[in-house]
Structure formats: C-alpha cells, structure tokens
Amino acid sequence: MPKMKTNRSAAKRFKVTAGGKLRRKHAFHSHLLVHKSPKRKRRLAGVDFVDESEARRMRRLIPYL
C-alpha cells in the first residue's frame, strides 16, 4: 500500500500535544488589530485545542504528526 500524504497546510496549522490533543491558534489575531479591544486581543493571543468532534477529521489530514 502507498503511504498517505500529509496535508501540508494542516501540518503547519496544528501541533499534537503529548496527550494526543491537537493545538491550534485563534483566528482574527494577525492584522486589523487597531479597532479590537485589548480584552479581545488577549483572549485571541493564546492557543486553543481543537474540539474532539473536529479532531477526528483533522487527524486524517495529518496522519504522521
């Protein structure tokens, strides 16, 4: 059987933690930040985890990470 291909765009966006969860960044925190409140920017700054309902689909895109 041939190997599965890793989706390169997904591989750059997600990291797998030691516990197997998928880590991701928040959207809307890269530009146009002037009109966003400091509270909103702080909340968007940290990392978040992919919900388990979505994680199954994401793991199919990045089988070897």
Run of H or E including 23 = strand 22-25
Q: Where are the domains of the chain?
A: 8-61
Residue 25, pLDDT score: 95
Residue 12, pLDDT score: 95
The two tokens of residue 18 are 């030691």
What is the full per-residue pLDDT of the chain (65 aa) written as tens digits? 899 999 999 999 999 999 999 999 999 999 999 999 999 999 999 999 999 999 999 999 999 98
Residue 65, pLDDT score: 84
Query: CA distances (Å), 28 to each of 9, 24, 25, 32, 44, in order?
Result: 18, 13, 10, 8, 7
CATH class of residue range 8-61:
few secondary structures
